[in-house]
Structure formats: C-alpha cells, structure tokens
C-alpha cells in the first residue's frame, strides 16, 4: 500500500489471521513509500489517530442481515457517499483493464500509455453516466 494521491493522513491497520492488530502505521498524505507488514491477512485504513493499537482484537461479523456501510471519503476526510453494498462503481472487466493499463503506464512512464489509460477511464465514466439507475443502486 502507499498514500499516493491520498490527500488526508490515515492510520493503516494490519490484522493477522486471528483478527488481532499486529501493526499500525500513521501514513502521511501523498507519500509514495510502500507500506507493508509480514503475516498480514487484512489491512484497514481508518482516520488518523484512530486509537487502534497493536494487540487490539477485531470481531468480523458474518451476519448477512446486518448492513455494512463503506464510506467514500472526500479530500478533507468527510464522507462524500455511503455505499451499502451491491453497488458496482466499475465492472470487474473494466477494473481489470484499468489496472492493466495503469501498471503499464506506471512501468513505462510513457505519455502514450498514460493517455491510453486516461482515454479508457473517460470511456468508463461516460458509460456510467448512461446506465440505468438499477446498475448502481444498493439492493433492498
């Protein structure tokens, strides 16, 4: 993980397979330093100074009836949108293509590859603008 293009500081919480916190890093905005930790099963990004500390335990709820909300954060850290689950912002196929194009552009640092990535991204966004609402609404 890194903080490239992330405009707010975050706590990066590393969790092992026993659901115990094994490390917490205070990540700074727009830092390209690669962050990782051995024996990590899960990583959670939370607001900076979250109070989460090494040794804390988490409990993952596997209750299908419980609504879990993921927040899309604005640059100032406020919530722009709540995702209830079931939303598809970008299709799996489009995501795979975007990742492939992004890796190619990053590796080559070629203007041609960056332009191809941008062109495809705008095509994806244009497609989203024309989709019927049922493709993005959360299920009941």
Long-range Cβ pairs for the range 106-111 (8 Å, 24+): none
Question: 68 and 97 share a domain?
Answer: no
Query: Would you place residue 138 in the very low, low, confident or very high pLDDT band (cuts 50, 70, 90)?
Result: very low
Which token pair is 119?
Answer: 């062109």
Interhelix angle 92-108/111-129, nearest 10 degrees: 160
Q: What angle do CA 131, 89, 6 make, to 5 degrees?
A: 140
Quick check: is 32 in a domain? yes
Tally of domains within the chain: 2
**Cα distance between the two ends of the chain:** 33
pTM over 0.75: no
pLDDT tens per residue, range 36-82: 899 998 899 888 988 899 999 877 766 666 666 766 666 677 777 77
Please indicate whether residue 82 or residue 31 has the higher confidence score (pLDDT).
Answer: 31
The Cα–Cα gap between 133 and 62 comes to 28
Query: What pLDDT is recorded for position 103?
Result: 93
State which residues form the domain around 34.
10-83
């Amino acid at each position: 993980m890194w903080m490239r293009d992330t405009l707010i500081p975050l706590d990066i919480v590393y969790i092992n397979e026993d659901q115990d916190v094994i490390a917490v890093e205070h990540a700074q905005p727009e830092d390209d330093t690669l962050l990782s930790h051995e024996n990590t099963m899960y990583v959670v990004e939370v607001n900076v100074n979250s109070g989460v500390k090494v040794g804390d335990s988490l409990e993952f709820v596997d209750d299908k009836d419980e609504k879990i909300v993921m927040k899309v954060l604005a640059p100032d850290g406020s919530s722009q949108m709540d995702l209830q689950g079931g939303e598809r912002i970008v299709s799996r196929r489009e995501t795979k293509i975007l990742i492939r194009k992004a890796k190619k552009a990053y590796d080559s640092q070629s203007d041609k590859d960056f332009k191809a990535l941008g062109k495809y991204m705008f095509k994806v966004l244009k497609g989203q603008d024309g989709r019927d609402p049922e493709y993005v609404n959360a299920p009941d």
